[in-house]
Structure 1
Amino acid sequence: MIDAFEDHCWQDVVPAETLELYRHYKRPIGVGPRAALLAIDLYELAYQGGPLPVAEVSRTYPSSCGENAHRAIEPTRRLFAAARAAGLPILYTTGDTRPDSKPTLIRATKRQGLRSDPSVFAIRPEFAPMPGDVVITKQRASAFFGTPLIAHLTLLGVQTVIVCGESTSGCVRASTTDGYSYGFHMVMAEECCFDRSMLSHKLSLFDLHHKYADVMHTDDIVSHLDSLALKEAV
């Protein structure tokens, strides 16, 4: 029987013998104090082609997460609403589209045909930044690498970072491990993270949950934030 610590989306891809190997990582999980919401790359590029299978939309939009991205919209809207009601700082990342800002000699991971049109790096309207939110542009996978994110979090007195966005195996993973390395309590909203590959998504969440972050169901995070909002209202 799967216990609450392992009651997540990876159950159908991680065998029982592997779960047994990771038993010593089991611990209480939860949202820590002084939290902020970090939204990783919720830009139009990830949603292109609509809520169709990724294999279908990728023929025209190779960077789209298709139905996986669109499935995450509603839980992410609820997470944003709860975070705003609780008064959490909200920070976003998006791509740096300046033509002369990136080194040109890196070849090993250079994706072919990646567009730098600024319009596709605009934040999705459902999650549009509001006055007081922080939007950070980045050139690499991690939200922390070469950006002022750590300075913003420090000045805001943040101790816990709640992460949502894409892709789970790429920018979300890199940002979460860096956040852990900087000493933040990292929380990942499971249903609000997404990827082109469901296998990569599930295995990345599994790895992160057992080593660097508390992967939590969005409903549980929202319930916690709702309780904070009620305390603020009293």
Structure 2
Amino acid sequence: MGFGERPALVVIDLARSWLDDESPQGSSRLEPVLHNTIELLQVARKHDCPVFFTTMAFTPWETVGPYGRKMLHLGERGSLEAGSKMVELDPRLERRPEEPLLVKPRASAFWGTPFDTYLIGRNIDTLIVTGCSTSGCIRATAESAHNLNFRTIVVREAVGDRSPMAHEVNLTDIDLRYADVVGLEETIAYLEGRATR
């Protein structure tokens, strides 16, 4: 698909629940993903590219039924409990007040949030996706963005998963079906080049 003219960057779920060794979900070993995302954030901010963040959080009434039973880890020591420290973004991301934080109840950043209206309101045509997890929230967000007719870019070095195999398999499938999986350097060059046009 290639890059368009009006990009936005979304950082998916780089919160304590996925990054903290004390998380009930277990360590994701996502430090390289976090650092590469921070590098992209610096470039995006320098060139006035809109930035969005997501986290996943639930109140008890949101986990009733089959979905809640499948997500058994939700109740473990506040892993994804609304208001808990675990759903807070990593402070190294340095989220700014003008950068929306979407609290999503499902894997896709679009499901149950106003994300699409925010993008449409800013005339965005290209969504650059970073964060975790490749096999879950990254894939779901890429699929939703594709279905909504956005050019969708997943940055290979800025996404990650607990399972290396799931990460690689899903990157291949995302690239075949929903998005362009692009390297960090190429994405930075696009953002820098766009600024000079």
TM-score, normalisation: structure 2: 0.90
Which whole-Å CA distance do the structure 1 matches of 2:17 and 2:192 have between them?
Answer: 31
Is 1:141 matched up with 2:107? yes
Deviation at 1:183, TM superposition (A): 0.7
Larger Rg: 1
Is the CA contact (8 Å cut-off) linking 1:44 and 1:123 kept in structure 2? yes
Deviation at 1:219, TM superposition (A): 1.0
Change over 3 Å in CA distance of 1:180–1:65 after alignment to 2? farther
Which whole-Å CA distance do the structure 2 matches of 1:35 and 1:145 have between them?
Answer: 20
- Count of aligned pairs: 191
Is the CA contact (8 Å cut-off) linking 2:28 and 2:161 kept in structure 1? no
Give the stretch that moved more between structures: 104-113 or 216-225: 104-113
Which whole-Å CA distance do the structure 1 matches of 2:167 and 2:194 have between them?
Answer: 30
Is 1:71 matched up with 2:32? yes
Is 1:106 matched up with 2:66? yes
Give the stretch that moved more between structures: 141-150 or 107-116: 107-116
Structure 2 residue identity aligned to 1:80: L
Once the two structures are superposed, what CA deviation does each residue of 1:43-88 show, in whole Å capped at 9, x if it has no partner? 1111111xxxxxxxxxx63424432x11212211111111111211
Is the CA contact (8 Å cut-off) linking 1:85 and 1:226 kept in structure 2? no
Is 1:31 matched up with 2:3? yes
Is the CA contact (8 Å cut-off) linking 2:18 and 2:28 kept in structure 1? yes
Instruction: Identify the residue that residue 202 of structure 1 maps to in structure 2.
Output: 168
Is 1:161 matched up with 2:121? no
Which whole-Å CA distance do the structure 2 matches of 1:206 and 1:94 have between them?
Answer: 25
Give the stretch that moved more between structures: 188-197 or 114-123: 114-123
Once the two structures are superposed, what CA deviation does each residue of 1:126-184 show, in whole Å capped at 9, x if it has no partner? 21310211111111111111111111111111111000000000011011101100111
Deviation at 1:210, TM superposition (A): 1.1
Give the stretch that moved more between structures: 117-126 or 211-220: 117-126
Once the two structures are superposed, what CA deviation does each residue of 1:20-42 show, in whole Å capped at 9, x if it has no partner? xxxxxxxxx53222100011111
- Of 137, 145, 161, the residue aligned with 1:179 is 145
Is the CA contact (8 Å cut-off) linking 1:85 and 1:229 kept in structure 2? no
Q: What is the CA RMSD across the aligned residues, in angstroms?
A: 1.7
Instruction: Identify the residue that residue 6 of structure 1 maps to in structure 2.
Output: none
Instruction: Identify the residue that residue 13 of structure 2 maps to in structure 1.
Output: 41
Structure 1 residue identity aligned to 2:25: S
Q: Which residues of structure 1 form unaligned runs of 5+?
A: 1-28, 50-59
Is the CA contact (8 Å cut-off) linking 2:11 and 2:37 kept in structure 1? no
Give the match's secondary structure for 1:72. helix
Q: What pairs with 1:219-230 in structure 2 (closer than 5 Å)?
A: 219-230=185-196
TM-score, normalisation: structure 1: 0.76
Structure 1 residue identity aligned to 2:16: E
State percent identity of aligned pairs. Answer: 29
